[in-house]
Chain A
Amino acid sequence: MRRARLPDDEKERIQALLAADVLDTPPEADFDALTRIAAAICGTPIALVSLLDAHREWFKSKVGLAASEVPRDVSLGAHAILEPDLLVVPDTRKDDRFADNPLTTRDPNIRFYAATPLRTAQGHAFGTLCVIDHVPRQLTGEQRSALRDLGQQATAQIELRRIVSDLRRAVTDREQAEAALRRALETAAPPGTIASSKGPARPGWIALAALLVPLALTLWAAGAANARVQRRREERFARATDEVAEAITERVEGYEHLLEGGVALLAASGEVSRGGWRSYVESLHVRERYPGLLALGYAVRVPEEQVAAFESRLRADGILRSVHPIAGQGEHFPVLYVEPAGANDAALAFDVGSEPRRRAALETARDEGRPIMTANIALIQDTGRAPGFLVFAPVYEDDARTATVEDRRRHLEGFVLAAARTEDVIRATSVVSPDVDLEVYDGRSPDPNALIYDRVPPVQPIEPRGGRLSSLRTIAVSGRPWTLHVTALPAFDGGPTSWEAAIILAGGGLGSVLTAALVWSLAAARSRAVATAEGMTRALRASEQRARSVMETVADGIVTFGRDGKVQSANPAAQWLFGRRLADLVGRDIGALIPGLVAAPSGRVEAEAQRADGAVPVDVAVTPTAGSESFVASVRDVSERRAAEQALRHSEQRTRSILDNMLAGLITIDGDAKIESVNRAAEAIFGYASAELVGRSLGMLVPETVGDRAAYLRTAFPRAIGRITEWQGQRKNGDVFPFELSMFEFTTGTGTRFFGGSVRDVSERHAVEKLKQEFVSTVSHELRTPLTSIRGSLSLLGGGVLGDLSDEAREMVTIAERNCVRLIALVNDILDLERLEHGRLHMDIEAAPLRDVVARAREAVQAFADDRQVTLEMDPTPIVVQGDAGRLVQVLVNLVSNAVKFSAPGGSVRVAVEEAGDKARIAVIDHGRGVPASHRAAIFERFRQVESSDSREKGGTGLGLAICKAIVEQHGGEIGVDSEEGKGSTFWFTIPSAPAVDGFLEMFRVADGRPDVLVADHDAALLGVVVRHLVGAGVSVRVAFDAAEAERVIRETAPRLLVVDLGLPEGEGRELLDRLRGDERLALLPVLVYSEQDVAERLQRVLALGPTRFLTKSRVTDAEMRSVVTEMLGAAQEGQA
């Protein structure tokens, strides 16, 4: 453990403490409030106001600690009072001052300690305000400054007590002096007066008294006066030292505010351009307001590999400089911007991390997250190489966490930096206390090598009376210690020496001496009052300075104006906002700057700020200052927000107008089927105005005839999502009409789920379709009848039934008949195609063995093939497809007869069948002339044949392939042709395979008495697993693959338990349960919902209207499922018994 050394000012410190008369006094609310606030702000369990006398650290106020004092040997505060500023010890175990301190190693187990020293106006630290925690931690910037501020409050409280105690002493002094005067006057009274009362007078005693008393009084008064003069001189000197130290600190703090302003600008603007930086610095009027400051710059963190990118960024701004000096540290901090330009250009691209002193400061700034000053350096832009310094303020990435050192290191972006020549900075403070000499040393001691400022060249000063006054003071400037050596100059003692003469003159006469004593006593009291007033003025100035720095760095414009509406002040943000310099703003009428604004308090109002280049929308709030002498307007530029709002409004209008002008109706509803919005088309379709619909249930658009409208909607939703389905709707006038509905689900930014439905009234289309159907039917009949007659007649003629014809006549009849047959085929194909394309051709989709399809096609084409001397080769196949066998035969006949047509006599046509994924691929292969590549796509369109002569030569209507395509596509398959010209073609099509039926499960689909359990699941694989487990447990099982089958089995065989997967296609499981629970005979059937996904609690409640349990497949083992089933079966058995 390291014991703290005694401070250099130990004696003065103790005196100041004793003067305050505060040691060992009872707790006071003023101090207790401070410790409570400190603990609350810093979030620590312990906070203390401690005072250090010669032997101990005594706690004037404490939160969270039982002890009332600790010996100075182990006191933490003894270390804290040695610090110029706040001491923060994040982890006492890692600090060799505290690591083995008993307060760290034993109760109260201190781990974290932060203390701000309490100092008198003369700089004597007599105690601390500290916060303590049992765990290691850090303080944020806000917490640090709060702790400092609270420390000042504590100091002020103690100073107040000292002043009160001083005044009390002064009053006592005066009373004593007055009493002495009174006694002297009584003694010097005419002898007669005394004799009359006290008998005969004794003049010798009186003379002696008259001689001795004045003499003694004169001597006493003269001595006292001398002592007072000397004390006053010392006090004045101490004050001068304070003022010098304060002026320097304030000056550098001013730079810190500038830096913080720069950091705030970078944070607020995201990316600041060179021009932006320039105008920021210009707006600060550095030369006038911050004398000594040379430059304000921005250095960015640039990893080695990005140096070139940085340099090209400079080039883009027209600056041809490379990062210098070259130092291979992996990470560089070159200066990107520096202003004012010109004089500071030498600093551009200078790597401020390249030199150890600068680097040490910027690393500390980075780690501690606050502005830090470098040790004494020569600035690169200062050709005179005079002492100078940089202050770095770290800039972190936007919104990055900067709680820990690691965070801060990771998220560092760069530094805003201020460069100043030390001499200029300090000389600018010379107006303060010009009658003292000042030397400033970089560091904690007056090391001649570290001298950075000397106010007056050393001359031999005259040794004044009372000794030469001199003091050393170490101050902290932006985290850097500077030692000030202040010495009084002869001028310091110039004025008040006349005091001596006054005292000597006063010594001549009792009255004047006493008067002098009285005057002195009064003067002493006055001097203290003046000192107090000065202290208060200083505090006020500091508080004003703080307020000003806040004003200067906030993003909002802040303008103060008087009752007369004239602007009194404006912060830099306001100057930017109004586009006017301060001088141009002050005195202007606030109503001219923000029309409509008057000198009266207001809440937040929207207004427009008048700029030279136009109006800017702003939000303004006006509050009166205390006493309503003036008003503060906080003005925020909201042009970006307004623009965004307007863009949003436009976008909404655009969307609205698109929605309103689209032909389809659009209805959005919330999760409870309440209508949220409807567009114009939807209004027209249903005949309601939007206002009549919004907020009401979608059920009002459903026909009364459906019965339970809610149930109708429940089934509609899942079926309509993501596809077009047809439903019945009801208009306001009661008309029921068909509409097409396609639903989609969407989630808004707030996470609320909505459904949208695109609605198309298809009643007209239905009417047209009906007409067309009738037309087609009529045409079909009307065309066929005459064709039947023609063909019949020709057939009879050609057949020789009506007598022999000449050869020529027979030839003509044959031609007529052949063309008649073609015409009939054409009519048939057109009708077929028309029906196919409108999906009205009835299809019986079922499992169809391709073996049969191929055989039937062969049967149909064989004669034709024989005729053309073409061999048909058909592969045997076991594949079963899902399709309409008749239509598939039609397709295959078409393709095969085409192939035959285009095969040379003696050729062959082969039908090959193979499996392709979940489909069967049927290929018809010929060796004919092939299909040119250019025709391969078009060949499936209507009336497209490879050569126009084909239809005449080869017969056919030109619709065959189009019909094939329509049929195949209706099956969900594809059709195409592969061909090599001159070598033949392969026409192929695919048809979905029929699902393979698990032979094992099939055994459980046949009735075999009353089963224990019916398992309904669409997933055959999972079903197989469940069934095997249950059968293994001796349970008799039936299975069903869909809800309809399940319901049928339940009604036919009355199983004891239903195990159902709710994920059955299209929510069938859910509907099945609804139906079961709605049927009183089946309502009590025990059900185990064994689903893929967790069933939401809300749905569980809805479903659990009967004896229902829920299991999630992924969460239970099969054995657990089995035991639940047997348990439920057991319960069902008991229920029945």
Chain B
Amino acid sequence: MKVLIVDDEPDIRRIARLGLSRVGKMDVVEASNGAEGLLRAKEERPDAVLLDVMMPTMDGPTTLARLREDPATAGIPVVFLTAKAIAAEVDRLKSLGAAGVLTKPFDPMSLARDLRAALGLS
């Protein structure tokens, strides 16, 4: 299973990568911003995208919309990673077409399991 992590924080990317690859035995590709995320998604065709909400220049929701616009990436399930852990925000993000919402701070030890749950895989 290949997961694309899109986050502007290198530390977060690194921890998430370790959690997903070491604990969850997943393949991980990274992008440091929305534009790069779109590019990587098209190139790598990941099974899922873990998408940070608040990013400079192109935020998570915009990136999601752009992914949906491109037939090549439109079908990739997206799970948001957000620091705003309030119900209204979660509902809003889900209504944008996300498969799920994970909140920061996350536990890298359970990240892979949570991601699978959000995708309805386990």
Contact = CB atoms under 8 A, between A and B. Distances in A.
Interface majority SS (helix, strand, loop, mixed), chain B:
helix
Interface string A660-697: 00000000000000000000000000000000000000
Given A781-B84, A801-B108, 12 more contacts: A780-B84, A787-B105, A788-B83, A788-B104, A788-B105, A792-B12, A792-B108, A795-B108, A796-B15, A796-B108, A799-B23, A799-B108
A225 B84 CA distance: 140
Interface string B4-22: 0000010110011011001
B1 interface: no
B18 A784 contact: no
B83 A785 contact: yes
Interface in B1-56: 9, 11-12, 15-16, 18-19, 22-23, 54
Contacts of B9: 785, 789
A788, A789, A795, A841, most chain B CB atoms within 10 A:
A788
A842 B88 contact: yes
A789 B83 contact: no
Interface string B99-119: 000001111110000000000
A824 B105 contact: yes
6 contacts: A785-B104, A786-B11, A792-B106, A795-B108, A802-B22, A842-B87
Given A785-B9, A792-B12, A796-B19, A828 B107 contact: no
Given A788-B104, A792-B12, A801 B88 contact: no
Interface string A791-808: 111011001011000000
Nearest to A798: B109
Interface string B78-91: 00000111111000
Contacts of B105: 784, 787-788, 791-792, 824
B34 to A, nearest CB: 16
A802 B85 CA distance: 29
Contact of A792 (B15, B83, B86, B87): B15
B70 to A, nearest CB: 28
B19 A828 contact: no
A787 B9 CA distance: 12
Contact of B15 (A784, A789, A835): A789
Interface residues of B, number: 22
Contacts, number: 68
Nearest to A786: B11
Contacts of A841: 86
Contacts of A791: 105, 107
A788 B106 contact: yes
B15 A828 contact: no
Contacts of B86: 835, 841-842
Nearest to B9: A785
Interface in A768-791: 777, 780-781, 784-789, 791
Contacts of A786: 11
B117 to A, nearest CB: 16
B83 A795 contact: no
Contacts of A828: 85
A880 B73 CA distance: 46
A1109 to B, nearest CB: 47
B110 to A, nearest CB: 9
Contact of A801 (B16, B83, B109): B109
Interface in A1049-1072: none
A886 interface: yes
A796 B14 CA distance: 11
A47 B84 CA distance: 101
A817 to B, nearest CB: 9
Nearest to A782: B83
Nearest to B15: A792
A828 B83 CA distance: 10
Contacts of A824: 105
Contacts of A799: 23, 108-109
A886 B15 contact: no
Contacts of A789: 9, 11-12, 15
B104 A801 contact: no
A786 B87 CA distance: 22
B18 A780 contact: no
B54 A781 contact: yes
B105 to A, nearest CB: 4
Contacts of B87: 842, 886
A781 B53 CA distance: 10
A841 B104 CA distance: 19
Interface in A732-790: 777, 780-781, 784-789
A780, A784, A785, most chain B CB atoms within 10 A:
A785
B85 A792 contact: no
B107 to A, nearest CB: 5
Nearest to B91: A842
A787 B88 CA distance: 23
B2 to A, nearest CB: 20
Nearest to B21: A801
The 6 closest A-B pairs by CB, nearest first: A792-B15, A788-B105, A789-B11, A784-B83, A792-B108, A801-B22
Given A781-B54, A788-B105, A788-B106, A802 B18 contact: yes
Nearest to B105: A788
Nearest to B85: A828
Nearest to B8: A785
A785 B15 CA distance: 12
A801 B23 contact: yes
Contacts of A886: 87
A228 B88 CA distance: 130
Contacts of A842: 86-88
Contacts of A801: 18-19, 22-23, 108-109
Contacts of A785: 9, 12, 83, 104
A710 B56 CA distance: 47
A27 B78 CA distance: 122
Contacts of B19: 792, 795-796, 801
A792 B16 contact: yes
Contact of A777 (B15, B16, B84, B107): B84
A1008 to B, nearest CB: 34
B50 to A, nearest CB: 13
Interface string A843-859: 00000000000000000
Contact of B107 (A781, A792, A802, A835): A792
Contact of A788 (B15, B18, B84): B15
B18 A796 contact: yes
Contacts of A777: 84
Contacts of B106: 788, 792
B90 to A, nearest CB: 11
A787 B107 CA distance: 11
B89 to A, nearest CB: 10
B75 to A, nearest CB: 29
Nearest to B13: A789
Nearest to A789: B11
Nearest to B54: A781
Contacts of B54: 781
Interface in A524-564: none
B58 to A, nearest CB: 16
A82 B59 CA distance: 121
A888 to B, nearest CB: 13
A780 B87 CA distance: 15
Contacts of B104: 784-785, 788
Contacts of A796: 15, 18-19, 22, 108-109
Contacts of B15: 788-789, 792-793, 796
Nearest to A844: B87
Contacts of B107: 791-792, 795
A789 B105 CA distance: 8
A429 to B, nearest CB: 107
Given A799-B23, A802-B18, A781 B108 contact: no
A646 B86 CA distance: 63
A788 B52 CA distance: 13
A777, A784, A795, A835, most chain B CB atoms within 10 A:
A795
